[in-house]
Structure 1
Amino acid sequence: MTMYRCSDCGIGSPVDSATWCCPGCRGPWDLDFRASPVPLAELPGRVNSLWRYAEALPLTAPVTSLGEGRTPLVPLTATVSVKLDFLTPTLSFKDRGAVMLAELARRLPGEPRRVIADSSGNAGTAVAAYCARAGLDCTVFVPEATSAKKVEQIRAHGARLELVPGDREATAEAARAAAGGEGVFYASHVYNPYFLHGTKTYVYELWEDLGGRLPEAIVVPVGNGTLLLGGAQALTELHAHGLIGSRPSLIAVQAEAVSPLAAAFHAGADDLLERSPARPTLAEGIAIPDPPRARQILRAVREWGGTFLTVTEDEIRQAQRDLAGRGLFVESTGVACWAAAGGWTDRTAVVPLCGAGLKTGTAPA
């Protein structure tokens, strides 16, 4: 049986127990799962979704799939390409992980469970959609300041919505308080490692699209670090199986207004420094002042020869205008990486465009 495992305490728990965190330190779970090599030559004949990488996934043969993954890779400059990860069923990359959580919840023993999720918007939307697909009851907690478009989308999928006063951390605390109820599955994109095994398919797709290679730099936005940690897992697997020769740099991007990980990284720390209040930012999706997987994120960036970059609010606005002028309307969180790396000329890089501009309804001014 696949087991959850705490990387700090070493405590384990069967996946079908539905425990959402380590009972010892209350930290997030990792997963005892060993991926097998993905055969590049066989991929063209497989299903055109992230499920084509079956050897690398802890779940197979899904019934909840909506065709997520396999998003286009588009060159925008001589050295920098963008991956259009807003071209997914709910218009954000969070579909990659949400389908894994809904599929897991559907397979757990007992009566159909009530699913709870918390989010700044996109993850909640994705979980709501995939729970609807799986026929699961779903409640999503979001901050009361969440974009009206995202709130509308969550409700459209039939989920109950809990608007929580305060910031993103207050929302997470409210969801965790509800997660202990009988028959509840906490579909946490932060605490549950199945989500990371979904997001890692982003890097497997880059590897496939580039013919078994990867760019010199993989640039990702970081709040809770779900795309970065999934990407790091894929890089580790590909390298261990001898499927990549070089080691790309893993570059993390945060909004300057909320950049606790960048501060810790540049201070040489292994964990977050003293917490400072979060300031308002256009990049609401990565405005996370206290990410539970902070140590794992910092370690992954260092292991893959990367660094942290920060972008200002003006740079975010300019990046959104620039992409819109190139034909791509992307939400403000999703343009952070383009703001950081779109002008690079010294190395090849791929930047994810993580959410559609229609998610916020705010056009670039």
Structure 2
Amino acid sequence: MTAYVCSRCQVHAPADALTWCCPRCRGPWDLEFTSGPVSRASLTSRVNSLWRYEEALPLATHAPAVTLGEGRTPLVPLTDTVSAKLDFLMPTLSFKDRGAAMLAELALRLRQGGGLSHVLADSSGNAGTAIAAYCARAGLDCVVYVPEGTSPKKLEQIRAHGARLTVVAGDREATARAARAAADAPGAFYASHVYNPHFLHGTKTYVYELWEDLGGRLPDTLVVPVGNGTLLLGAALAVDELYGHGLVDRRPALVAVQAEAVSPLAAAFHAGEEELSAPAAAHPTLAEGIAIPNPPRARQILRAVRASGGTFLTVTDDQIRVAQRDLARRGLFVEPTGVACWAAVRAAPQRGRCVVPLCGAGAKTGLAAGVTPQSVQ
């Protein structure tokens, strides 16, 4: 296996250990891993899932033990210049399956090596359902911590996969703190979509698929929702790898979208800050999946957006409501968090060709109230 490294402290740890964060600063791990170039010509004969990009994956295998056929989601046009990647068509109905497949594969290998007794995760819903499903596929015992107020449909899905739920009184941050405390128990593998970098190497396949489907090119702009930043950081990884191997000749701008009600990264970016000076207040928003007041990878997210020549945009709940109705009238039923990027692009059109992800299915949360069909233009 590869090794973990803390980008702040340069502390290292073997990736077959259960140490979930840097022991010095308690920050998230990065992965010491060098990808190989992926040959587009070879892809036609490969498995039709994200595991087809095996040269780029740290847990590469010709026959992964844990897969539900995730990845390879459709890319469909919304306008002449904007396309949507339908990641809500994943097995558990959200893009989080990309990272969950990697974490469950890792957990299974760790159990085979001895020492792992159970998997735990914390989530506002989608990551928890994905981890629960892939642990079920792998035959792993799983506990998922969720905040009170999580969508009942998401709770039902987690339970259906056999995971044990721990509902935490308080908000998303309180839930994360409770899970991190439990993660220090012997035998626990913290399948964190924030702290474990294998998750980011799963989400980067989003961009590898765009590269493949666009004939070896990337769009001018990638618009990505950002709470903890797992899709954006995965996208940045993929862009760096594709460019570094000479497989693309330019890098797209990364445009990050936050909910206006909880937008600490957007505020820091526009203030010229390199990291968060203080957590944001936790206000309610329809975009609950990206309402993260204090993302642990804030510095990395801000650096990635600036390096790409991109920016941060924010959207209001009213814009989210209208965008959700608009997509539904186009045949695409997406949960409120998942429409944030489309809401942002409608308000602030981007240069050149642009791709937005539709990250979670509307069946998970239902239709946001407050906008009539007649008000959607």
TM-score, normalisation: structure 2: 0.95
1:145-164 equivalent positions in 2, closer than 5 A: 145-164=149-168
User: Equivalent residue for 1:79?
Assistant: 81
Which residue in the other structure is 1:291 paired with? Answer: 295
Q: 1: CA distance between counterparts of 2:89 and 2:103?
A: 20
* Cross-structure match for 1:348: 353
Deviations 1:127-150 (A, max 9, x none): 000000000000000001100000
Cα distance between partner residues in 2 of 1:345 and 1:326: 21
1:269: which partner in 2? Answer: 273
Q: Within 5 Å, which residues of 2 pair with 1:1-365?
A: 1-61=1-61, 62-108=64-110, 109-342=113-346, 344=349, 346-362=351-367, 365=371
Preserved CA contact (<8 Å) 2:147 2:167: yes
Structure 1 residue 113 displacement after superposition: 2.5
**Conserved 8 A contact 1:67-1:89:** yes
Matched to 1:30, the amino acid is D
After superposing the two structures, state which structure 1 stretch, 336-345 or 99-108, moved more.
Answer: 336-345
The number of equivalent residue pairs is 365
- Range with bigger deviation, 325-334 or 38-47: 38-47
Contact kept in structure 2, 1:28 and 1:190, CA below 8 Å: yes
How far apart are the structure 2 equivalents of 1:325 and 1:362?
12
**Alpha-carbon distance in structure 2 between the residues aligned to 1:113 and 1:304:** 41
Distance 2:165 2:278 in 1: 33
Measured against aligned partners, the alpha-carbon deviations of 1:291-317 in whole angstroms (never above 9, x if no partner) come to 000000000001111000000111000
- C-alpha distance in structure 2 between counterparts of 1:76 and 1:339, whole Å: 12
- Is the partner of 2:87 in helix, strand or coil? coil
Letter in 2 for 1:218: L
Alpha-carbon separation, structure 2, partners of 1:129 and 1:247: 34
Relative to the length of structure 1, the TM-score reads: 0.98
Q: Give the Å deviation of 1:362.
A: 3.0
8 A contact 2:224–2:231 mirrored in 1: yes
Structure 1 stretches of 4+ moved >2 Å: 273-276, 342-346, 361-365
In the alignment, is the contact (CA less than 8 A) between 2:286 and 2:368 conserved in 1?
no
- 1:74 and 1:82 in contact (8 A); partners too: yes
Q: Distance in 2 between matches of 1:172 and 1:363?
A: 26
1:345 CA displacement: 6.6
Deviations 1:53-98 (A, max 9, x none): 0000001231110000000000110000000000000000000000
Question: Share of identical aligned residues, percent?
Answer: 74
**What is the CA distance between 1:111 and its match in structure 2?**
4.9
Cα-Cα RMSD = 1.1
In structure 2, what is the Cα distance between the partners aligned to 1:267 and 1:64? Answer: 43
CA distance, structure 1, for counterparts of residue 150 and residue 10 of structure 2:
36
C-alpha distance in 2 between matches for 1:362 and 1:218: 26
Unaligned 5+ runs, structure 1? none
Summarize deviations over 1:145-181 as a string: whole Å, max 9, x none: 1000000000000000000011100000000111111
- Opposite residue 68 of structure 1, the aligned amino acid is E
